[in-house]
Structure 1
Amino acid sequence: MGTNDAARLLAQGTLGASRADITQAAGGGARRWIEEQFQIEPTQGHFDWMMANGFGVEANRNNTAGLDNSIWRKFIASPDALRQRMVFALSQILTVSVSGIDTDWRQFCVGHYLDILERNAFGNYRQLLEDVSLSTAMGYYLTYRGNAKANGRGSQPDENYARELMQLFTIGLLHLRPDGTVDGARGETYEPEDVSGLARVFTGWDRDTAGLTSPYPPGIHQRPLAQVANRYETGAKSFLGTTIPSGTSAIAALRTALDVLFRHPNVPPFVCRQLIQRLVSSNPSAAYVGRVAAAFVDNGQGVRGDLKAVLRAILLDPEARDTAAAARNPAFGKVREPVVRFLNWARGFRASSPSGLWAIGDLSDAGSRLGQSPMRAPSVFNFYRPGYVPPGGALAAAGLTAPELQIANETSVAGYLNYMQRAVAGSGIGDVRGDHAPLMALATNSRALLDEINLVLAAGQLAPATIATLQAALDTINAGTETGRRNRVQAALVLVLAAPEFIAQK
Structure 2
Amino acid sequence: METEAERPQAQDQQAASVRGALAVAAATAALAACGGGGGGAGDSTSGSGGGVTPPKAPSENEAARFLSQAAVGITRAQIARVQAIGYSAWIDEQMTMAGSGTRWDWLKAKGYDAAANIFTQNGFDSVVWSKLISSQDTLRQRVTQALSEIIVVGIDGLVGAGWQPFSAAAFLDLLETNCFGNFRTLLEGVSTSAAMGQYLTFRGNVKFNAKTGALPDENYAREIMQLFSIGLIQLNLDGTPKLQNGVQQETYTNDDIGGLARIFTGWDFDLSTSDTTTPEFLRRPMTQVAARHETGASTFLGSTVPAGADGVAHLKAALDIIFAHPNVAPFISRQLIQRLVTSNPSPAYVQRVATVFNADSKGVKGNLAAVVKAILLDDEARNMANVVNPQFGKLREPIFRFLAWARAFNVQSPSGLWNVGNTSNPANSLGQSPSRSGSVFNFFRPGYVPPNSAIAGASLVAPEFQIVNESTVVAYVNFMQRIVTGGNTDLVPDYSSLIPMATTSKTLLNELNILLAAGQLSDVTINTITAAIDSMPSDTDARKLSRIYAALLLVLASPEFIVSK
Output the TM-score relative to the length of structure 1. Answer: 0.98
Aligned to 2:431: 371
Amino acid at match of 1:378: G
1:135 paired with 2:196, answer no
Alignment deviations for residues 423-443 of structure 1 (CA, whole Å, 9 cap, x no partner): 11134x241121111111210
Tell me if the contact between 1:97 and 1:377 (Cα under 8 Å) persists in the aligned partners.
yes
Which ranges of structure 2 fall in alignment gaps of 5 or more residues? 1-57
| Cα distance between partner residues in 2 of 1:230 and 1:420 | 54
Amino acid at match of 1:459: A
1:254 paired with 2:315, answer yes
Aligned to 1:11: 68
| Cα distance between partner residues in 2 of 1:257 and 1:343 | 39
- Equivalent of residue 192 in structure 1, options 234, 251, 254: 254
1:389 paired with 2:472, answer no
| Aligned-pair identity (%) | 51
**SS, match of residue 360 in structure 1:** coil
**SS, match of residue 104 in structure 1:** coil
Q: CA deviation at 1:228?
A: 1.2
Tell me if the contact between 2:274 and 2:280 (Cα under 8 Å) persists in the aligned partners.
no
Aligned to 1:64: 121
Aligned to 1:112: 170
Tell me if the contact between 1:360 and 1:430 (Cα under 8 Å) persists in the aligned partners.
no
Amino acid at match of 1:192: N
Aligned pairs (5 A) from 1:409-424? 409-424=469-484
Q: CA deviation at 1:450?
A: 0.6
Question: Deviating runs (4+, > 6 A) in structure 1?
Answer: none
Aligned to 1:287: 348
| Cα distance between partner residues in 1 of 2:486 and 2:503 | 18
1:121 paired with 2:199, answer no
Alignment deviations for residues 299-334 of structure 1 (CA, whole Å, 9 cap, x no partner): 11010000110011100000000012x023221100
1:340 paired with 2:340, answer no
| Cα distance between partner residues in 1 of 2:453 and 2:207 | 49
| Cα distance between partner residues in 2 of 1:56 and 1:344 | 31
Aligned pairs (5 A) from 1:472-487? 472-487=531-546
Instruction: Name which structure has the greater RCO, CA cutoff 8 Å, separation 6+.
Output: 2
- Equivalent of residue 226 in structure 2, options 149, 152, 167: 167
Alignment deviations for residues 229-266 of structure 1 (CA, whole Å, 9 cap, x no partner): 11111111110111111111100110111111111100
| Cα distance between partner residues in 2 of 1:194 and 1:56 | 41
Q: Give me the CA root mean square deviation.
A: 0.9
Q: CA deviation at 1:87?
A: 0.4
Aligned to 1:466: 525
Output the TM-score relative to the length of structure 2. Answer: 0.88
| Cα distance between partner residues in 1 of 2:483 and 2:563 | 21
Amino acid at match of 1:196: G
1:432 paired with 2:491, answer yes
Tell me if the contact between 1:277 and 1:284 (Cα under 8 Å) persists in the aligned partners.
yes
**Cα distance change on mapping 1:174 and 1:33 into 2, 3 Å:** same
Alignment deviations for residues 32-63 of structure 1 (CA, whole Å, 9 cap, x no partner): 11111111111110001100111111111001
Q: CA deviation at 1:28?
A: 1.5
Tell me if the contact between 2:338 and 2:345 (Cα under 8 Å) persists in the aligned partners.
yes
Alignment deviations for residues 137-177 of structure 1 (CA, whole Å, 9 cap, x no partner): 10000000000101112100000000000000000000000
1:149 paired with 2:207, answer yes
Q: CA deviation at 1:14?
A: 0.9
**SS, match of residue 299 in structure 2:** strand
**SS, match of residue 257 in structure 2:** helix
| Cα distance between partner residues in 2 of 1:184 and 1:411 | 41
Q: Pick which of 376-385 and 204-213 moved more.
A: 204-213
| Cα distance between partner residues in 2 of 1:17 and 1:74 | 16
Q: CA deviation at 1:486?
A: 0.5
| Cα distance between partner residues in 2 of 1:430 and 1:71 | 18
Tell me if the contact between 2:263 and 2:314 (Cα under 8 Å) persists in the aligned partners.
yes
